[in-house]
Amino acid sequence: MELGEKLEILADSAKYDVACTSSGVDRPGRRGSLGSCAAAGICHAFTPDGRCVSLLKVLYSNACSYDCRYCVNRRSNDRPRATFTPRELAGLTIGFYRRNYIEGLFLSSAVLGTPDRTMELMIEALRILREEYHFNGYIHAKTIPGADPLLVERIGLLADRLSVNIELPSENSLLRLAPDKKKSAILRPMGQIAVKSAESRRQLAVYKRAPAFAPAGQSTQMIIGATPESDRHILDLTEALYKKYALKRVFFSAYLPVVEDERLPALSTRPPLLREHRLYQADWLLRYYHFSARELLSEAEPNFDPYLDPKCTWALRHPEFFPVEVNTAAREELLRVPGIGPKSALRIVQARRMQRLGMAELKRIGVVLKRAQYFITCGGRLPARGTRAEIAGALLDPKAFAVGVQQLSLDDFVARPLPCAAPAVQELADHGVAARQAAQMVRQEALTCLTRRM
């Protein structure tokens, strides 16, 4: 098989892996080396067709010995298979880098025979890149669950970031859909990476030339919507992973039906993109707003509201917390106000040392006053008094009612709900209701329900 054919197959097979992000490391170029890593992230480049890319995202092999029911590369699925050699993959990466297509590599793989064999081949490809080609750019490598700890240690010395995909949010779902994978085999390398990374940072603080182990940390990915776990279950797991394994990111991937199986949603099922979006918003609240998972969801309400972002939902549940005085409140209190984010909260704290803040100053600082004005006071005065319907209208998330026009031909312009629109909008459109009318109907109903709750 030609190298171009392999690349086409293995790049297509890698598109379902979303756990890829900016580097988080700062490593300047070195004399005699190729590439560099900037702390702000990977430098972007453009392919000849105009697409902006940063990493060559590819599988080493898609010839998997596992039979995970949700995976397009599962053993029992009939699809083209391909496998690189270590030298082919290293040469391909360097070739793309020299043509300015990429600045780094995102490497994962199906389980080729055994986890150990797969990791050995991936390690050899990265060794060639680092030691023979002197590639100094960013590398994100997936660790294969069940591999020997010595192999995990070796790949951590070659890659900038490691990740071990949890895939499914519970052990029961793993047993049902991925019987070849075990919870312990996934969590063991996570723990090892966390310990080795912390140890490496301590060594680097003392010895500048000490070897760096996965300096950009580790991440993981969970599939959302393939199994029945609630948002509360997923968010509790996410919080626990951050605390126990010091993960940099937890990625959520809305399940896209690609294989037919009675244990999975039907092929006609839409990916739950709005639910994925809500989980990312909640993840942001955990990491940057000092919320806890149990504050955002409860046993009585275990799933996020599709029409409100999680922060607005929390604010409506806790009217006793508001209004917040912007001239005296602590930064942690400001972060709880809808429309105030980490940057604007910091600017408020800095600006009020020199002057008292009013609406004009808050607008210049970057506060989203459309939402915030109903939850704050400026010098003891409420900036706005709105009816319940006005406040509810300001809080509803426009993304849930998004409709777009897609050009299908020169004379065919049809308005359709965007993929991330609320399921109710999609269902009405499927039953023949015009997309804009469907979005308006659902928004009006959501507005009425929210007004009654307030």
Strands 138-142 vs 161-163: parallel, antiparallel or unpaired: parallel
Burial of 161 (0-12, 13-18, 19+ CB in 10 A): buried
Check if the beta carbon of residue 439 is closer than 8 Å to that of residue 402.
Answer: yes
Check if the beta carbon of residue 34 is closer than 8 Å to that of residue 139.
Answer: no
Average pLDDT over residues 298-309: 95
Interval 172-185: pLDDT, tens:
999 999 999 999 99
With bands split at pLDDT 50, 70 and 90, how would you rate the model's confidence at 49? very low
Residue 51 has pLDDT above 90, yes or no: no
More confident residue, 92 or 41: 92
Average pLDDT over residues 134-160: 94
Q: What is the rounded distance in angstroms from the CA atom of residue 16 to the CA atom of residue 234?
A: 19
Tokens of 57: 């995202």
With bands split at pLDDT 50, 70 and 90, how would you rate the model's confidence at 384? confident
Model pLDDT, residue 13: 84
DSSP 3-state assignment of 130?
Answer: helix
Query: What is the distance of C-alpha 272 from the center of its chain?
Result: 14
Interval 403-433: pLDDT, tens:
986 555 544 567 889 989 999 999 999 999 9
Average pLDDT over residues 310-336: 96
Model pLDDT, residue 406: 59
Is the overall model pTM greater than 0.75, yes or no? yes
Average pLDDT over residues 290-306: 95
Interval 66-78: pLDDT, tens:
999 999 899 998 8
The mean of the pLDDT values for the chain is: 89
Model pLDDT, residue 191: 96
Model pLDDT, residue 228: 94
